[in-house]
């Protein structure tokens, strides 16, 4: 934790943004709907206040987000660097070293935030970072137009699994209702985000399911996406995301784990948990973090070593549940 990190409330974050004229907004690597929707809504909103804003993401952005991606070049020197939906500086990906110690403001909703920025606006009760951006733009009296509203809706709907996850609150629906009033393309966005997958992805899911493992009386479902499966299916980048969520549809599963091979001895782990398990707590033990119901970490070793390490931590959490000693934080 960085002691130099100043915690800002809504009024303070707005006062800070008002003072900046040229801003650079950073998203996390492997960008999702929330980091992108938050970044572009903030960009479009601040532009309405006469500011110049550029968004940078170190990875390629999937085309399904094209409807709110408005890039108009960058012919200014940024005065302030803002990271959105980025819980840890390392999540910036390849560009993280370049920005270490240089993030002026972090707007986030992850309880696991490492306080790496000079200033932090953190609302862990927000289901999506886009909820924070909505509050900020509203406080700044920015008139939300359809492009901004579509970007915000994308962030909120994707981080809540289309309003199905346990992070959804009354406020989530209230904000969504306000966005509906602006005339967002909700049905179209929902179809693109939740009901559409490529044929390659379907083929990859088939291979993953063929090798699904169940542990601890079927309460833990473990799915592995090996390099071989990635090559065979032709899936790359964002097409490989969101495998752990398959566990949602399996009765009795409390922990859905997906292990994605990213190197010969390197694996990205994504964990989905269902009450009373806490994914953030489990992943913290493995050097990662995230939210209560969805978290992740990166592990090194052979596939079987990684599986053993993971299963031991998940097994321990389940045992604590059985013993009634699982700490509900």
Minimum distance of Mn ion from residue 323's CB (angstroms): 33
**Residue sitting closest to Mn ion (CB):** 34
Burial code (b: 16+ CB inside 10 Å, e: under 16) for 69-97 equals beeeeeeeebebbbbbbbbbbebbbeebe
Of the pair 158, 247, the CB lying nearest Mn ion is at 158
Minimum distance of Mn ion from residue 84's CB (angstroms): 9
Minimum distance of Mn ion from residue 106's CB (angstroms): 13
d(CA 227, CA 113): 30
Of the pair 78, 161, the CB lying nearest Mn ion is at 161
Of the pair 91, 259, the CB lying nearest Mn ion is at 91
Q: Which residues bind Mn ion (CB under 5 A)?
A: 34, 85, 129, 159
3-state secondary structure (DSSP) of residue 217: coil
Minimum distance of Mn ion from residue 42's CB (angstroms): 13
Strands 80-84 and 52-56: unpaired
Minimum distance of Mn ion from residue 98's CB (angstroms): 23
Of the pair 38, 224, the CB lying nearest Mn ion is at 38
Of the pair 85, 205, the CB lying nearest Mn ion is at 85
Sequence-distant contacts of 238-245: CB under 8 A, at least 24 apart: 238/30, 238/31, 238/62, 239/198, 239/200, 239/201, 239/204, 240/204, 241/30, 241/32, 243/205, 243/208, 243/270, 244/270, 244/271, 244/272, 244/294, 245/161, 245/272
């Amino acid at each position: 934790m960085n002691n130099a990190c100043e915690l800002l409330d809504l009024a303070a974050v707005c006062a800070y943004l008002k003072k900046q004229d040229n801003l650079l907004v950073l998203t996390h690597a492997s960008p999702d709907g929330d980091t992108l929707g938050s970044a572009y809504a903030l960009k479009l909103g601040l532009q309405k206040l006469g500011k110049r804003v550029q968004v940078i993401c170190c990875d390629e952005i999937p085309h399904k987000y094209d409807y709110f991606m408005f890039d108009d070049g960058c012919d200014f020197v940024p005065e302030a660097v803002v990271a959105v939906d980025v819980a840890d500086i390392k999540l910036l990906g390849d560009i993280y070293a370049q920005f270490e110690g240089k993030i002026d403001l972090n707007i986030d909703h992850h309880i696991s935030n490492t306080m790496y920025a000079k200033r932090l606006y953190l609302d862990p009760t927000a289901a999506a970072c886009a909820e924070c951006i909505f509050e900020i733009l509203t406080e700044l009296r920015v008139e939300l137009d359809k492009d901004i509203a579509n970007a915000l809706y994308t962030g909120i709907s994707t981080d809540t699994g289309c309003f199905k996850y346990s992070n959804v609150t009354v406020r989530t629906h209230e904000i969504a209702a306000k966005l509906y009033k602006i005339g967002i393309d909700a049905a179209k966005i929902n179809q693109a985000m939740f009901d559409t997958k490529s044929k390659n992805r379907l083929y990859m899911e088939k291979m993953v399911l063929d090798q699904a493992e169940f542990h601890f009386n079927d309460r833990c479902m473990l799915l592995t996406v090996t390099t071989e499966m990635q090559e065979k299916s032709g899936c790359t980048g964002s097409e490989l995301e969101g495998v752990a969520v398959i566990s949602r549809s399996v009765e009795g599963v409390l922990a859905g784990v997906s292990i994605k091979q990213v190197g010969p001895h390197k694996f990205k782990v994504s964990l989905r948990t269902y009450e009373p398990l806490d994914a953030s707590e489990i992943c913290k033990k493995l050097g990662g973090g995230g939210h209560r119901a969805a978290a992740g970490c990166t592990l090194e070793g052979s596939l079987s070593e990684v599986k053993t390490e993971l299963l031991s931590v998940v097994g321990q959490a389940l045992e604590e549940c059985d013993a009634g000693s699982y700490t509900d934080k």
